[in-house]
Structure 1
Amino acid sequence: MPVTTLDDRTALVLIDLQRGVVGISCQPHSAAAVVENSAALAHAFRAHGLPVVLVRVSFAADGADQLKGRNEFRRPGGNPPEGWDRIVDELTDHPEDIHVTKRNWGAFYGTDLDLQLRRRGITQIVLAGIATSIGVESTARAAHEHGYHVTLAADAMTDSDADAHRHSITKIFPRLGETGSTAEIVELLAATR
């Protein structure tokens, strides 16, 4: 479903656009293209006085607060490099932005994201970030379950796996909300403000 409307109280939520994540190999969009499109969205939202939420994933140095459980995914060994969890420079230096640190795939569980949004009367979120099939999809599902209208900026997200990205875009996201391009969202934002 194409993007048809943005509520008066819409927030932009950017997932894991941090140094250690944008350094991974991404498909079908490069991480640089995702950061560029996300920065354009953030600029437009700030210009219209709408909230921008920067979500990052981070863990204690000893890994004690990392997601546990049995799975077949092999976690990389050792400690991540210094600064891996810092938001990319293209999105920083805006004190009005909301910062959320998560320990899970999605940005709602175990964080104050829902509280931050509800305090501001937010009814809709526009989502972007890396990785489409993990952090973005998990957050989109939870946003839908929390009753938010969900819009997904398809060219402002990417994945380490092109098939996983495509599956989220074509099979999952149409059930959760509307999907459009950065340009479409920025144009709609300007037209409704």
Structure 2
Amino acid sequence: MPTLSPATTALVLIDLQHGITAMPLQPIAGVELVERAKAVAARFRAAGAPVVLVNVDFGPDFIDAPKQPVDAASQRGPLPADWAQLVDGLEQPGDLRVTKRQWGAFTGTGLEQQLRRRGIDTIVLGGIATNFGVESTARHAWELGFAVVIAPDLCASVSTELHEMTLKHVLLRVARIADSGTLLLQA
């Protein structure tokens, strides 16, 4: 993995929030993924690289959720009060917050503008789910011209099969794949 410049690289973490990290996840449990993400985020902050924390949330009665007809719609119904809150201890002063209303973190959020104004041309991406929020964000970032690095040890899904399929057959077409421990940030 090439060395990344903290001046032009941001860590983007997808949906590390109470309602999602509590789900049964594979190949890594939500609690362990969050601890890894906290450690990597601390490394990025120490190097002066931005950390972007993305959560998903919806208005009352899912008024702002996508409504297109699909064959397997997402479940809708009452959510716990803390469902959309980031996990405890993840957010630190100076982190960027983005709330999305769909799988990907770019559409309708201002994320692209925030990254471009900071001179960011590369994102390191992790979160939940590998095959939904992470994949959607990676594809869109690539289409926008960002270099993308996926940290698979910071990703999980509802099954190992979906996680691995996405890494092996989709994400390697729009990103470089590198465990977070191999990422080197210039001093």
**One fold, TM greater than 0.5?**
yes
Q: Which amino acid aligns with 1:22?
A: T
Q: Is residue 26–residue 158 contact of structure 1 (8 Å, CA) maintained in 2?
A: yes
Q: Is residue 155–residue 182 contact of structure 1 (8 Å, CA) maintained in 2?
A: yes
After superposing the two structures, state which structure 1 stretch, 3-12 or 138-147, moved more.
3-12
Give me the whole-angstrom Cα distance separating, in 2, the residues matched to 1:158 and 1:4: 24
The residue correspondences of 1:116-131 to structure 2 (distance < 5 A) are 116-131=114-129
Q: Name the % identity.
A: 44
Give me the whole-angstrom Cα distance separating, in 1, the residues matched to 2:62 and 2:175: 34
Cα distance, 1:34 vs structure 2: 1.2
Match of 1:25 in 2: 24
Give me the whole-angstrom Cα distance separating, in 1, the residues matched to 2:55 and 2:26: 20
Q: Which amino acid aligns with 2:23?
A: I
Cα RMSD after superposing both structures: 1.2
Q: Deviations over 1:71-115 (max 9, x none)?
A: 2224334210101000001302x1200000000100001110000
Match of 1:181 in 2: 179
Aligned match of 2:160 in 162, 167, 170? 162
Give me the whole-angstrom Cα distance separating, in 1, the residues matched to 2:76 and 2:63: 14
Q: Which amino acid aligns with 1:4?
A: P
After superposing the two structures, state which structure 1 stretch, 75-84 or 31-40, moved more.
75-84
Paired residues, number = 186
Aligned match of 1:109 in 107, 110, 135? 107
Q: Deviations over 1:29-53 (max 9, x none)?
A: 1111211111111000100111000
1:141 aligns with 2:139: yes
Give me the whole-angstrom Cα distance separating, in 2, the residues matched to 1:71 and 1:167: 22
Give me the whole-angstrom Cα distance separating, in 2, the residues matched to 1:125 and 1:152: 8
Q: Deviations over 1:127-162 (max 9, x none)?
A: 000000000000000010111110011100000022
Cα distance, 1:62 vs structure 2: 2.1
Cα distance, 1:58 vs structure 2: 0.3
- Structure 2: tracts of 5 or more residues without a match: none
Match of 1:132 in 2: 130
Instruction: Please report the TM-score for the alignment, with normalisation by the length of structure 1.
Output: 0.92
Q: Which amino acid aligns with 1:87?
A: L
Name segments (4+ residues, structure 1) moved above 6 Å. Answer: none
Q: Which amino acid aligns with 2:147?
A: H
Report the secondary structure of 1:89's partner residue: coil
Report the secondary structure of 1:90's partner residue: coil
- Structure 1: tracts of 5 or more residues without a match: none
Give me the whole-angstrom Cα distance separating, in 1, the residues matched to 2:10 and 2:47: 11
Instruction: Please report the TM-score for the alignment, with normalisation by the length of structure 2.
Output: 0.95
